[in-house]
């Protein structure tokens, strides 16, 4: 999930007013007695399978597939296929793309309904020097305030939650039961480089046909708030485009092609100043509103229902906790809490991820750089698209004479939208409610994920995150996933596993 936000800062903590234990109950209110019995047996099996489930995560982490480095991609794909077979998928197929292959698998038990699941087998790059324990060793560590966690690259993004989903299928089988729904698994190996070929996988005729039978698609998530265990159900996600803006003497035909001595600034043009001047046109002077020409043209305003959900979220979520988690003293324009939630859901953004030019080490060095780079991400809301946004940016720069400034797009997804009344969302909410998990319904995740491939034509399905459990540190050092939680409001690996079991039963029975 390169562009989702996971862990504490994604799911704002909420006031305790929605508190409720997420601990296991053998007899689940709101489900038929027979189903309750099934769930109890499956939980026992999940507990029995705990060691195997932990080992499944650890073994998976030990094999890092990194598309950006072309590292162990085929191995990673084969491993994913083996995991799917092992979990009971009868048809498991490698799907070649113009990039790295994906996986398509089905588990058909003759149930009435089909459910889609999205996996990725790749992980983000890492630098072992930054880690407290080797990132591929997947060590089990006591993390104060959290419990026992697995530390490793991919722990929460996405191997831990995905393994918990697979553990749910193992537990169902071990309990002598049959999954209550049929499953379609689609998996890619290029999520961390922006899913450039994922559409090729889902539109392969047999994959598309299978997906079209599904109620929706979930991506497993371990995003419970570490304080009260709360989760947010998002009715969609912002889109994103990531790119580098590059000003260079080579393209400009002015200024140096390499770094030269800075005394030459008196007579030589500076690509770094050119970049600064171009950047300064992209946002309002406060840096808070995109100023790219026509950028808001396709932006759909919030609906009355979306505003209502935001108002509700404002009462459920804690401003103080959010500020603390973000390390922020005040929001843009000192906006009140609800307005910040509104902006988070509704506003497209132009963000500087990074700046790199010339000398970047300690102190100074008297150079005039030949090249300057701004790493930018645009967050998109309906009905913006990644392609149109880049075209508008190109036109904006060209109109101001910055034709030479390159826009090197790394990847992007369109925004997604999923109907609140879809069976997927209703089942998610019902499952969380039954578990007593504080739940906030929110119009739009401010982060991004490749879900637009599912929500847009031709797949056109509801899609979103689902799952209990907690982890954090995606893309960062010391990424972790909780396997034994010391906080009764937050689930460990067994509770996470059971959240998927419950959800599949809910999907099977929901009206």
Per CB under 8 A, contacts with a copy of itself among 399-458 are: 410-411, 445-448
* Residue closer to a copy of itself, measured from CB, 280 or 460: 280
Tell me which DSSP letter residue 159 carries.
I
| Cα dihedral across residues 418, 234, 469, 349: positive or negative | positive
Exactly one of 349, 385, 431, 456 binds a copy of itself (CB under 8 A); which one?
349
Q: Does 16 bind a copy of itself (CB under 8 A)?
A: no
CB contact set of 455 (below 8 Å; sequence gap of 6+): 236, 416, 417, 418, 461, 462, 463
164 binds a copy of itself (CB under 8 A): no
Our CB check for a copy of itself shows the closer of 342 and 502 to be 342
In the chain the first and final C-alpha atoms are separated, in Å, by 31
Residues 502 and 492 sit within 8 Å (Cβ to Cβ): no
249 near a copy of itself, judged by CB under 8 A: yes
* Nearer CB in complex with a copy of itself: 47/319: 319
Among 132, 258, 294, 383, binds a copy of itself (CB under 8 A): 258
Nearest CB to a copy of itself, comparing residues 9 and 132: 9
Name the β-bridge partners of 169: none
The pair of structure tokens assigned to 105 is: 């698998």
**In terms of CB distance, is 263 or 294 closer to a copy of itself?**
263
Cα(150)–Cα(471) distance, rounded to whole angstroms? Answer: 9
Q: Around Cβ 90, how many Cβ atoms within 10 Å?
A: 11
Size of the site for a copy of itself (CB under 8 A): 89
What are the C-alpha distances in Å from 113 to residues 93, 116, 423, 462?
Answer: 21, 10, 11, 14
State how far the Cα of 198 lies from the Cα of 196, in Å rounded to an integer. Answer: 6
Q: Is 334 helix (H, G, I), strand (E, B) or coil?
A: helix
Q: Which of 274, 392, 396, 489 binds a copy of itself (CB under 8 A)?
A: 274
76 binds a copy of itself (CB under 8 A): no
Residue 62 as a binder of a copy of itself (CB under 8 A): the answer is no
Are 290 and 349 a contacting pair, CB within 8 Å? yes
> Which span sits near a copy of itself by CB under 8 A: 83-91, 275-283, 298-306, 428-436?
275-283
Nearer to a copy of itself, 133 or 351 (CB): 351
Q: Provide the 10 A C-beta neighbour count for residue 195.
A: 27
Rg (CA), the chain: 24
Which of 34, 129, 327, 421 is in the footprint of a copy of itself by CB under 8 A?
A: 327
Tokens of 149: 């966690």
Query: Contact between 263 and a copy of itself (CB under 8 A)?
Result: yes
Q: Which one of the spans 112-120, 201-209, 218-226, 283-291 is the region binding a copy of itself (CB under 8 A)?
A: 283-291
Per DSSP, the residues of 413-465 read E--EE--TTSHHHHHHHHHHHHTT--EEEES-BSS--TTHHHHSTTT---EEE
- In the complex, what is the shortest distance from the CB of residue 490 to a copy of itself, in angstroms, rounded to a whole number? 20
Nearest to 383 by CA among 291, 300, 463: 300
- Minimum CB separation of residue 272 from a copy of itself in Å reads 4
Q: Does 311 bind a copy of itself (CB under 8 A)?
A: no
CB of 292 to a copy of itself, least distance (A): 14
Q: Least distance in Å: CB of 163 to a copy of itself?
A: 24
**Cα 402 to Cα 271: distance, rounded to the nearest angstrom:** 11
Name residues contacting a copy of itself, limited to 366-405 (CB under 8 A): 366-370, 372, 375, 377, 379
Note whether 155 and 480 are within 8 A (CB): yes
Based on the shown chain and the rule CB under 8 A, indicate whether residue 253 belongs to the binding site for a copy of itself. yes
280 touches a copy of itself (CB under 8 A): yes
CB of 411 to a copy of itself, least distance (A): 8
The one among 279, 437, 452, 507 contacting a copy of itself by CB under 8 A: 279
- Taking CB under 8 A as the binding criterion, the range among 105-113, 161-169, 243-251, 496-504 that sits at the site for a copy of itself is 243-251
């Amino acid at each position: 999930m390169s562009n989702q936000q996971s862990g504490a800062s994604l799911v704002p903590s909420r006031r305790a007013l929605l508190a409720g234990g997420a601990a296991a109950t053998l007899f689940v209110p709101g489900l038929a007695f027979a189903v309750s019995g099934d769930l109890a047996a499956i939980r026992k099996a999940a507990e029995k399978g705990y060691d195997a489930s932990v080992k499944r995560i650890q073994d998976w982490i030990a094999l890092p597939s990194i598309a950006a480095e072309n590292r162990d991609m085929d191995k990673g794909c084969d491993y994913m296929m083996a995991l799917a077979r092992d979990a009971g998928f009868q048809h498991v197929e490698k799907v070649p793309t113009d990039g790295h292959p994906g996986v398509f698998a089905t588990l058909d038990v003759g149930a009435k309904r089909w459910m889609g699941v999205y996996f990725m087998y790749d992980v983000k790059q890492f630098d072992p020097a930054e880690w407290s324990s080797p990132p591929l060793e997947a060590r089990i560590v006591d993390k104060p305030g959290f419990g026992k966690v697995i530390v490793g690259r991919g722990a929460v993004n996405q191997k831990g939650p995905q393994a918990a989903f697979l553990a749910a299928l193992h537990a169902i089988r071990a309990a002598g039961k049959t999954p209550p729904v049929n499953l379609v698994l689609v998996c890619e190996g290029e999520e961390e480089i922006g899913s450039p070929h994922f559409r090729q996988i889902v539109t392969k005729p047999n994959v598309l046909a299978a997906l079209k039978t599904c109620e929706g698609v979930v991506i497993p998530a371990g995003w419970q708030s570490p304080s009260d265990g709360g989760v947010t159900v998002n009715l969609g996600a912002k889109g994103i485009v990531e790119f580098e803006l590059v000003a260079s003497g080579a393209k400009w035909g002015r200024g140096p092609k390499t770094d030269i001595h800075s005394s030459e600034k008196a007579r030589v043009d500076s690509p770094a100043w050119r970049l600064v001047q171009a950047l300064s046109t992209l946002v309002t002077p406060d840096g808070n509103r995109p100023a790219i020409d026509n950028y808001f043209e396709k932006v759909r305003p919030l609906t009355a229902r979306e505003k209502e959900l935001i108002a509700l979220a404002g009462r459920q979520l804690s401003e103080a906790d959010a500020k603390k988690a973000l390390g922020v003293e005040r929001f843009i324009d000192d906006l009140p809490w609800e307005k910040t939630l509104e902006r988070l859901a509704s506003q497209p953004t132009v963000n500087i991820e990074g700046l790199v030019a010339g000398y970047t080490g300690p102190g100074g060095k008297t150079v005039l750089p030949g090249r300057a780079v701004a790493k930018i991400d645009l967050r998109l809301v309906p009905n913006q698209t990644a392609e149109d946004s880049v075209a508008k940016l190109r036109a904006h720069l060209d109109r101001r004479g910055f034709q030479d400034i390159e826009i090197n797009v790394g990847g992007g997804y369109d925004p997604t939208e999923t109907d609140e009344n879809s069976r997927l969302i209703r089942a998610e909410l019902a499952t969380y409610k039954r578990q007593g998990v504080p739940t906030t319904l929110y119009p739009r995740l401010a982060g991004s994920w490749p879900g637009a491939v599912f929500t847009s034509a031709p797949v056109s399905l509801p899609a979103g995150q689902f799952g209990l459990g907690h982890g954090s540190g995606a893309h960062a050092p010391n990424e972790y996933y909780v396997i034994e939680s010391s906080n009764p409001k937050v689930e460990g690996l067994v509770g996470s596993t059971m959240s998927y079991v419950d959800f599949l039963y809910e999907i099977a029975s929901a009206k």
